[in-house]
Amino acid sequence: MNLVVDIGNTFAKFAVFQNDDLVFKTSFELESFIKELNHVLEKYNSISHCIISSVGKLHDEGSQYLNNKLPVLELNSNTPLPFNNAYQTPKTLGVDRLALVSAAVKNYPKSNVLVIDAGTCITYDMVTANNQYLGGGISPGIDMRYKSLNNLTANLPLLKPTAPENLVGNTTNEAIHSGVMNGVIHEIDGLISDYKQEFEDLTVILTGGNANFLSKQLKSSIFANSNFLLEGLNYILQFNSKE
């Protein structure tokens, strides 16, 4: 069994895989790392391999504790990957994007795939049918757009993301919801259309914290998968375990 560890800025995730099957996952605050790790290892005592992906920072105590328990593969720009990386600045490429592309080549081999991750940022990652990762795009996520309106203006309030009831907002709150949400939806739909013009038979995957919400709003045909990043990390671990 494999343990996948995904470290964010505030929260972390554990996922347990039996071969390709996700059998368990949980999310928790970073300060609970050791306690949650012990719970997982007690419940799944046949875990033999582990991969960690970190866009945040795990405290030294937690990192050392994990390494004492299991052999750990730490995903970084030097990790062997199951695709050809044509990105010009690989050392600045987020490990989360490496995992998403790995999931794409695992689940959709010999296909042109665009992976859209709607989280803190909205990222677009393109991998071709010949297994080459080209890059993509990064734009502000939904929460970031709401916060920027509040932080960078004197009078606009900070609102929680809400689907607008009308295209034309006739209050300030409704206008913010219309501007942010319709802006995101039209951005994603428009970019999907542009990618389809350049890459034939394109498969589009939508993942990330806002995937389920956005999938109901988009006009484009997509596949929503909230576990795509975890699946990609597991595949990278499998790929390196065969080395």
> DSSP letters of the chain?
-EEEEEE-SSEEEEEEEETTEEEEEEEEEGGGHHHHHHHHHHH-TT--EEEEEESS---HHHHHHHHHHS-EEE--TTS--SSEE--S-GGGS-HHHHHHHHHHHHHSTTSEEEEEEESSEEEEEEE-TTSEEEEEEEEE-HHHHHHHHHHTSSSPPP------S-SS-SSHHHHHHHHHHHHHHHHHHHHHHHHHHHSTTEEEEEESTTHHHHHTT--S--EE-TTHHHHHHHHHHHHHHT-
Strands 132-140 vs 121-127: parallel, antiparallel or unpaired: antiparallel
Is 110 part of any known ligand binding site?
no
pTM higher than the cut 0.95? no
Looking at residue 63, what is its pLDDT? 87
Looking at residue 54, what is its pLDDT? 86
pLDDT in tens, the chain (243 residues): 999 999 987 789 999 999 999 999 999 998 899 999 999 999 999 999 999 998 777 778 888 999 999 999 999 999 999 999 999 999 999 999 999 999 999 999 999 999 999 988 999 999 999 999 999 999 999 999 999 999 999 999 999 999 998 999 999 999 999 999 999 999 999 999 999 999 999 999 999 988 888 988 888 889 999 999 999 999 999 999 875
Task: Check if 96 is active-site.
Answer: yes
Per annotation, catalytic residue among 20, 21, 96, 143: 96
CATH superfamily of 2-74: ATPase, nucleotide binding domain (3.30.420.40)
* CA–CA gap between residue 75 and residue 98 (Å, rounded): 9
84-233: CATH topology is Nucleotidyltransferase; domain 5 (3.30.420)
* Residues 77, 97 contacting (CB under 8 angstroms): no
Is 8 part of any known ligand binding site?
yes
Torsion-angle region of residue 110: left (phi > 0), alpha (psi -120 to 50) or beta?
left
Is 9 part of any known ligand binding site?
yes
Strands 202-207 vs 11-18: parallel, antiparallel or unpaired: unpaired
Q: Tokens in use for 131?
A: 């297994």
Is 117 part of any known ligand binding site?
yes
Residue range(s) occupied by CATH 3.30.420.40 in the chain: 2-74, 84-233
